[in-house]
Structure 1
Amino acid sequence: MSSTIEAPRKRSRRAPEPLAGVEMPWIRVAPDAPYFMDETGAPWTPVGYNDALTWPELGPLYRRKDVDAVDRHLAWLASNGITVLRLMLECAHKGRYLEKPLGTFQPHMVRVWDDLIALCSRHGIRLLLTPYDTFWMWLRFKHHPISRHKGGPCAHQGQVLLCPDTRAAIKNRLTFMVERWGGSGTVFAWDLWNEIHPAQVGDRADCVDVFNEFIHEVSEHVRSLETRLYGRAHPQTVSMFGPELRWRPDLPLADTVFRHPALDFATTHIYMEGSIDHPQDTVACAIDTGRLVRQALREIGDMRPFLDTEHGPIHGFKDWRITLPEAFDDEYFRHMQWAHLASGAAGGGMRWPNRHPHILTVGMRQAQGAMARFLDQMDWTAFRRRNLNEEIELRTAGLTVCASGDDAQALVWLLRTDALAEDGRVRQDAPPIAAGLRVPGLAPGRYSVVMWDTRRGMEAGRTEADAGEDGLSLSDIPVTTDLALAIRRM
């Protein structure tokens, strides 16, 4: 299939000037730890969320309605520690297709992406890109250019990963993406397929075999093309709607999402029923986030990174039309991101806004900034962590813990469970408790312990302690609502 960029229907006297970008080093998986680094060797952590070209903050970039507003917004994001945005290359629910008809790339959409990549590079923000909006492709299939109804090759949604001509069209889009934007370090990684699902292959019994073959084919296509053009390749992943792993225990879906040999890191969308997708308090969501990260790390057979690339109150927002109270949502968001990071995942996870308007709150940005300021407390490129959520010995009641560690470092996050207010938040006026705990696995020696206020984003104290053969014991750690501990061998 050939690719073309459609000529503008009306020629302007002067073509718009391209926006100037800045070269950024490429991101890769750290060779000795399940985290990321740039090609200079500096650690890089994904701190970000999901955005879209039709949502309020990036929307003004469409047809260059207000480029300066988007530029200012990205500068503000960068000042709050945001390092990555996850976006889909088209917004199918609004009919903003990258190709229309299939194989013809619309110039105004291409320019939006040219502009966004240039603007993000100015502010040091990278992009995790996925080629299709598969959710709305499914719901509005008859309107999608890939559909036979619109002149495309695919007869039905259930054939989208099976039809050879459709697969050729998918690879054609990926080729365009690689050739147009793949030479930029502003691209963090490719999410080759958003929420791969058995329904996309007609619920065949051998759907995992089809998934694995599809991923192998498109991954090799992208990697070989990038290597030929640029001498290197961006990291790759494929995402999955997390509950499917629980709903379909008869299918070896974990083989695809956690262990496929072509993928560089693993991603799921953490939408746990009840506690996360329709939360009633800000503690249960953190406990389940930590539990799901632990399960994911157990499924991964090597040291590839894991991260959640979608989470949020999707059921409450989409089905019940509820926008959570801002103060509640801010705390729910902050607790989930620290449970994610402390349990051994990379970064704080990537929220899908699920709010009206469809943007993150100022409090959420501040929470991301608070986490970003913490990141220097750990040596991520040497942190060969294992999950310690269940191995940590808590010696004080009224707390839950998410933690990870190796023989030289540990990250511990303590959360009060005994101080919930009527609105489901943890009481900030509760008297602190003196926590005692033991962190196993650390080699004997002297350790520094930095205590981090996750709400204010600043150090709350520090101490030193000696680890023995049974690990590191700590006592009298003051916890009012929650507290993170960065533990490193001195």
Structure 2
Amino acid sequence: MYRSVGWGVALICLGSLILSSCVSPSGGGKWPEGLLAEESWIDVARWELVRSGGVEEASLRAEGGGLAVSFAQQGEGFVEPRLLLGGADFSSCEALALRLESRIEARLMVSLVLYEGGRVWETPGKSLESGTHLVVFDLWGELFVPGMELPEGSNPLSSVEALGVRIGGLENPAGTVLLEGIASARSDEPPPWTFLVGGDSDGRELLSEVRVVHTPSPEDPLVELSIPLGVIPDNPYDPDEVDVEAVFVSPGGDSYRVAGFYYVPFRSIRRSFGTLLRMAGPGEFRVRFIAPEEGTWVGYVRVNYRGQESRKPLPPFQAPAPGKGYVGRSKRDPRYFSFQDGTPYIPVGSNVAWYDHRGIAAYDVWFSEMARYGANFARVWMPSWGFGIEWSDTGLGNYHRRQRQAWELDRVLRLAEENDIYVMLCLLNHGAFSTSTNPEWSENPYSSTLGGPLESPGAFVSDAEAWKYFSRRLRYIIARWGYSTHIFAWEIWNETDLATGILQNEAFPRWLEEVAEYIRREDLGRHLVTTSYSVPVDAGDPLWYSMDVVQEHRYGLQEWAPYMVGRVLRAREKTDKPYLFGEFGISGDVPDPEGIHWLDGLWGGIFSGAAGSGMLWWWDLYLEHHDLFPLYRGISRFLEGETLEGMEPHEVEYLGPYQIHMLTRDGEVWIWIKDRTFSFEGLVSKAMGVGLENVTWEPLPSTVLRLPLGPGGYRVEWYDPRTGELIGEDEASASDDVLEVVVPEFTQHLAGKVRRVE
């Protein structure tokens, strides 16, 4: 999806744990405890306005006790109101908070820029949605990152000459943002020291010990090793300099090689206004692994540092009996999914690709609400403004300045495990290699303008130097997160066709195969692999040959359920791979507060013969905004304890007021029957003349369905699609190959199951 990515501009990554929440629009409202209002700063005479790039019109004025910034942006750029301070001391200021009202519908990005002498300090950007919000910037946690070298005896932020509030977007935003107030949080604690990387051996043995820092249990089967080294590598993320791996040996004698990864610990600090994040110690190598076999495991750790090699046995550990295992294609019906133990898995969920101004606290809300109503799938990205570990602030091949983001993704995957949600993790976003659609290429470290190897984005898939760095990134991602049974799949690239010149490069198909092969090799074949495009790509296209899942993204005003079943039926003529609608929707501000179009795709995905529900794109601006999480309940209850294996979808001809969708297998039919006007188009049509808030649907009368089932007795169950509750049951029998089933009166839609009774 590209319609909502809309930000980034000249900003660096989004990477904050800070809680932010809606607050009173009054500029004089109280600040949370611990924040001190800086009232003298809200004086328009102390500010100047700076603009960059595509911002041609901009103004700054006093309004209602605050500062109003109005601008119109075309293309890349930003506007920055800048407070002139003349040498203010920020060295004891651990956080700054802004009370901002955005009157712009498009999503913006906001960062703080502090100017001190010849140094410019910029925080990661934060997503700003329309409305009034308290946005907190964790200065100590966001400005002082691993790998930063400070001159001995320096006292950073002790003489700040100016403070800028940088605002921009990628959707050509135009309008006004009101800065209602600024507050600071001071701390008596000493400012954080950074943990530096670089240097030579400190004289210790290269590999002196291996510690188990997480012991496996039936509730949590992860074993995690800590591997401190007696050297300090220049770049601990470069396996050509330092290569760490563990070899685990099962009770049956099978060996599993798992790469190590460099890890910087963090700790969270709760404040009344949010959660701050601090480095909790120096970095070290870690290894994560979930044993696929019960019993006593042994093995060893191997380290190669600049040609010097050392090995140590790892402490034996007792692995519990494996649980369901990883998600894969069903062995009984490869068009659907199951766990390694054969338990069916039917994805029901949506996209939650990145967090908003609340930081990863947003995932606490989203995952808990999704789990509460039975959802079990989420699609998450690794973009520059979210969980990306390599960008312009890191350079290529060194992820030290992105360890905060890596720690945040650790936490989000743990949240997924706690809520039993399976994550499709998207490794590349289109904008990073685009010069036109949500363009970020000017900030991409692969660009030659930033010292990278590529003159143009399209060369990414054919340049040997680019592959060296990208494969290194893949290795790190798999080493750190590949252990998790709650990663559903690796998605290589979101909507690759929107990246400039990639599909036009004849090397792309082979590159895609090589990436898939590399992932499977490093990942020990544990997870599914897929990719995506912004337009439907035929399921028989060679681009899908190396993928495990065919994924479609689709947007527009259409009847979702009939569209989906048509797409899957055509796909089944070409492939037996699972088909998944990874993104669908209309727009983020669609006038559908009841979620009618989402229900159409949620149920339509299942009844199309796809391997899961349709996955809505608009999660925070629509799903959460209208509190539509309860709509998961109906489909999740309907599917509870079921399998889709063997199910065949059908295009059903219908007359009159009914729209009918069916899945069938031997002796069984699932039915989803709708009022044919119960769709977004029907909603808009009904709203004409009466208004959206007055739309109602009248009950449809009982009807009779003739189902293609053989002779015998059958049990008929009817379910409320909104709640999943069983609302009626009956018995029926057939003496020939057609069973007549009486459909009760219903409003909007109804779901049913018909099964042969032995």
1:46 aligns with 2:342: no
One-letter code aligned to 1:113 = L
Give the aligned partner of residue 7 of structure 1: 147
1:343 aligns with 2:608: yes
Give the aligned partner of residue 185 of structure 2: none
Contact 2:370 / 2:629 at 8 angstroms: preserved in 1?
yes
Pair 1:455–1:172, CA change in 2 (3 A): same
Give the aligned partner of residue 331 of structure 1: 596
Pair 1:148–1:77, CA change in 2 (3 A): same
One-letter code aligned to 2:647 = R
Pair 1:240–1:150, CA change in 2 (3 A): same
RMSD (Å) for aligned C-alpha atoms: 3.3
Quick one: distance in 2 between partners of 1:36 and 1:107? 33
Task: Within 5 Å, give how 1:267-286 maps onto structure 2.
Answer: 267-271=551-555, 273-275=556-558, 284-286=559-561
Q: Per-residue displacement from partner, 1:130-170 (whole Å, max 9, x unpaired)? A: 11111354111111122222222222123232333323333
Pair 1:487–1:164, CA change in 2 (3 A): farther
Q: Per-residue displacement from partner, 1:417-451 (whole Å, max 9, x unpaired)? A: 257452288965403222322333x4443332221
1:308 aligns with 2:581: yes
Contact 2:675 / 2:700 at 8 angstroms: preserved in 1?
no
Give how far 1:126 is off: 1.9
Pair 1:143–1:443, CA change in 2 (3 A): farther
Instruction: Identify the match of residue 670 of structure 2 among 394, 411, 424.
Output: 411
Give how far 1:21 is off: 13
Q: SS of the counterpart of 2:266?
A: coil
Q: Per-residue displacement from partner, 1:442-467 (whole Å, max 9, x unpaired)? A: 44433322212112331221223335
Quick one: distance in 2 between partners of 1:182 and 1:95? 19
Pair 1:476–1:372, CA change in 2 (3 A): closer
Q: SS of the counterpart of 2:598?
A: helix
Quick one: distance in 2 between partners of 1:439 and 1:186? 38
Q: Which has the higher Rg, Structure 1 or Structure 2?
A: 2
Give the aligned partner of residue 216 of structure 1: 513
Give the aligned partner of residue 101 of structure 1: 395
Pair 1:443–1:214, CA change in 2 (3 A): farther
Q: In proportion to residue count, which structure has more helix?
A: 1
Instruction: Identify the match of residue 16 of structure 1 among 247, 266, 272.
Output: 266
1:162 aligns with 2:426: no
1:241 aligns with 2:534: yes
The number of aligned residues is 434
Quick one: distance in 1 between partners of 2:510 and 2:735? 49
Contact 2:431 / 2:441 at 8 angstroms: preserved in 1?
no
Task: Within 5 Å, give how 1:363-382 maps onto structure 2.
Answer: 363-376=627-640, 378-380=642-644
Quick one: distance in 2 between partners of 1:118 and 1:418? 42
Give how far 1:343 is off: 1.4
Pair 1:72–1:196, CA change in 2 (3 A): closer
1:74 aligns with 2:367: yes
1:459 aligns with 2:739: no
Instruction: Identify the match of residue 478 of structure 1 among 745, 750, 753.
Output: 745
Deviates more, 1:18-27 or 1:451-460: 18-27
Contact 1:378 / 1:486 at 8 angstroms: preserved in 2?
no
Q: Per-residue displacement from partner, 1:82-123 (whole Å, max 9, x unpaired)? A: 212111112x3x487411212111211111111111222122
Give the aligned partner of residue 316 of structure 2: none
Q: Per-residue displacement from partner, 1:202-258 (whole Å, max 9, x unpaired)? A: 554x85xx443222211111111122xxxx421111222234x4xxxxxx774145x
One-letter code aligned to 1:384 = G
Q: SS of the counterpart of 1:345?
A: coil
1:388 aligns with 2:681: no
One-letter code aligned to 1:168 = K
Pair 1:164–1:456, CA change in 2 (3 A): same
Contact 1:326 / 1:361 at 8 angstroms: preserved in 2?
no
Contact 2:337 / 2:346 at 8 angstroms: preserved in 1?
yes
Contact 1:55 / 1:358 at 8 angstroms: preserved in 2?
no
Contact 2:380 / 2:423 at 8 angstroms: preserved in 1?
yes
Q: SS of the counterpart of 1:436?
A: strand
Task: Within 5 Å, give how 1:84-95 maps onto structure 2.
Answer: 84-90=377-383, 92=384, 94=385
Q: TM-score, normalised by structure 2?
A: 0.52
Deviates more, 1:414-423 or 1:9-18: 9-18
Give how far 1:293 is off: 3.3
Pair 1:341–1:15, CA change in 2 (3 A): closer
Quick one: distance in 2 between partners of 1:35 and 1:200? 33
Pair 1:386–1:359, CA change in 2 (3 A): closer
One-letter code aligned to 1:7 = G
Structure 2 gaps, min length 5 = 1-144, 150-191, 196-263, 269-279, 281-287, 291-322
Pair 1:253–1:342, CA change in 2 (3 A): closer
Contact 1:403 / 1:412 at 8 angstroms: preserved in 2?
yes
Give how far 1:361 is off: 4.4
Structure of higher RCO (CA pairs closer than 8 Å, 6+ residues apart): 1
Q: SS of the counterpart of 2:730?
A: strand
Quick one: distance in 2 between partners of 1:21 and 1:117? 15
Contact 2:633 / 2:723 at 8 angstroms: preserved in 1?
no
Give how far 1:487 is off: 2.6
Give how far 1:333 is off: 0.5
Give how far 1:32 is off: 1.1
Give the aligned partner of residue 415 of structure 2: 119
Pair 1:96–1:117, CA change in 2 (3 A): closer
Q: Per-residue displacement from partner, 1:157-210 (whole Å, max 9, x unpaired)? A: 232323333233332222111111101112111112222328654554x85xx4
One-letter code aligned to 1:433 = P
Q: SS of the counterpart of 1:388?
A: strand
Quick one: distance in 2 between partners of 1:98 and 1:270? 29
Pair 1:38–1:253, CA change in 2 (3 A): closer
Give the aligned partner of residue 280 of structure 1: none
Contact 2:565 / 2:649 at 8 angstroms: preserved in 1?
no
Quick one: distance in 2 between partners of 1:460 and 1:197? 46
Give how far 1:8 is off: 5.8
1:434 aligns with 2:702: yes
Quick one: distance in 1 between partners of 2:540 and 2:508? 11
Give how far 1:7 is off: 3.2
Q: In proportion to residue count, which structure has more strand?
A: 2
Quick one: distance in 1 between partners of 2:411 and 2:448? 32
Give the aligned partner of residue 37 of structure 1: 338
Task: Within 5 Å, give how 1:144-159 maps onto structure 2.
Answer: 144-159=444-459
One-letter code aligned to 2:464 = P
Give how far 1:52 is off: 3.1
Quick one: distance in 1 between partners of 2:510 and 2:622? 36
Contact 1:196 / 1:239 at 8 angstroms: preserved in 2?
yes
Quick one: distance in 2 between partners of 1:407 and 1:264? 27
Give how far 1:129 is off: 0.5
Aligned-pair identity (%): 23
Quick one: distance in 2 between partners of 1:293 and 1:165? 39
Pair 1:213–1:76, CA change in 2 (3 A): same
Quick one: distance in 2 between partners of 1:12 and 1:454? 54
Contact 1:50 / 1:85 at 8 angstroms: preserved in 2?
yes
